[in-house]
Amino acid sequence: MPNLLIATRNLARNRRRALSALLTVAVGVIALVLADGFVQWIFWAMREATIQSQLGHIQVMQPGYLNAGAANPYAYVLPENSPQRRAIESTPGVKLVAPRLAVTGLISHGEMTVSFVAHGVDPKKEAGLIKALSIVEGQNLASATAKEVILGRGLARSLDVRPGATVVLLATASGGGINAIEAKVAGVFISANQAYDNAALRLPIGLAQSLLRVNGAHAWLVLLNDTERTVDYLAQFRASFPASANKLEFVPWYQQADFYNKTVVLFSQQMNVLRLIIGCIIVLSISNMLVMNVLERTGEIGTLLAIGFKRKIILQLFAIEGVVLGLVGASLGLIVGYGLAELISAIGIPMPPPPGMEEGYTGKIRITLNVMMNAFMIAFITTALAGLYPAWKASRLQIINALRHNI
């Protein structure tokens, strides 16, 4: 405690240099909080968009569907009314279970015919699931039995159709023949993936079943109340419904989110480089300040050694100065960084359209405990380490040479 008090007073003796060092540490922490918070918001937004619009938290399907379903989709249809589905939906913490039936075929309007990929969905269930889809024209699907579709904007442009137009869907039915149905275009949507919008449409699951002449769905999308508990529920479902007995496979969202996973790896590596750069700046700045402090106080250090202070005590005094600078500077940086993050999030960060999207978005800063702790620990540890060399240098001064600075 006395050493801490002495070290604090020593820093206060040269306020200008101490404030400069504190500012360096604080600015480093602020930069880390804002940069890491923005990257974490990107991760969160991509994750939720992937879950909400495409995959759900967990997909339930027949074993082998992901590998062989494209070649023989009719061999992997889940029954319409299943006790397993009702049991999953009644599990505490499960928000909803939405059936989806995959459809591929041709869509025609006038003389224009193009291929499409689609999902037959239950509009009531999807209302809580497709938040990442934005209806830009018309309206969303109304019911599970309506003869209507919504088209991706790119597909609508290819067909030159608007809401209210009539299109014809052709697909290979379960019996092997070609089946066709007419449907009204209810609306046009955009998603987070422009390539998907160029070929995708959605239709009520009842209409999809009529087109394919099947009774069921290829997958049940399980939406949870808490994304962070996906692994827990995955283990629970696999234990409750073993594949050998129930012919059900449970696939978590992250197992199929290849683009998201690679983006996280790339951005995480970039953040590590930024942390390294800021850490080096802090080390060099604080080390330089403390070395100058040692040079200016050489006579004082010689006096302390002459009156009996041990070299270990001198080392501790200067090392504690680095710790105090790190603690105060990092704390100040966290406070200012958090305030700036809240302010920036309230205003929003206008972002241009990223690759694969037609429209920009408004970014935010997502502050989590992990973001705050990482920024604090990097600044605190690097500042404390930066004080070790000046402290060692001060403790190794020769008494005679140091006392000469008092003359």
pLDDT in tens, 50-81: 887 778 899 998 888 888 877 788 888 888 87
Domain termination residue (choose one: 213, 247, 281): 247
**192 and 274 together in one domain:** no
- How large is the average pLDDT for residues 94-107? 90
- Beta partners for residue 78, in sequence order: 217
Query: pLDDT tens across 3-30, in order?
Result: 666 656 666 667 777 788 888 888 889 9
Same domain, yes or no: 128 and 236: yes
**CA–CA distance, 64 with 41 (Å, rounded to integer):** 34
Judgement on whether residues 73 and 43 belong to the same structural domain of the protein: no
Q: Look at the chain and report how many structural domains it folds into.
A: 2
Looking at residue 403, its pLDDT comes to: 61
Based on the fold, state whether residues 22 and 95 are members of the same structural domain.
no
Same domain, 219 and 300: no
- The reply to whether 150 falls in a domain is yes
| 132 and 230 assigned to the same domain | yes
pTM for this prediction? 0.78
Residues 69 and 209 in one domain: yes
Do 98 and 241 have their domain in common?
yes
For residues 229 and 271, state if they share a domain. no
What mean pLDDT is reported for the chain?
83
> Of 282 and 43, which is predicted with more confidence?
43
Which candidate, 306, 407, 338, 376, places its Cα nearest to that of 28? 376
CA–CA distances in Å: residue 159 to residues 154, 180, 198, 211:
9, 17, 11, 20
Beta bridge partners of 250: 60
Query: Which residues span the domain enclosing 396?
Result: 2-49+260-406
Q: Which of 247, 273, 304 marks a domain boundary? A: 247
Note whether 190 and 281 are same-domain residues.
no
Same domain membership, residue 128 and residue 228: yes
- 332 with 325: CB under 8 angstroms? no
**Position 56 in a domain:** no
58 assigned to some structural domain: no
Same domain assignment for residues 141 and 165: yes
CA distance 383 to 284: 9
Residue at which a domain ends, from 247, 275, 306: 247
CA 221: distance to chain centroid? 21
Residue 140 or residue 246, greater confidence? 140
Determine, yes or no, domain membership for 269. Answer: yes
**Domain membership flag for residue 255:** no
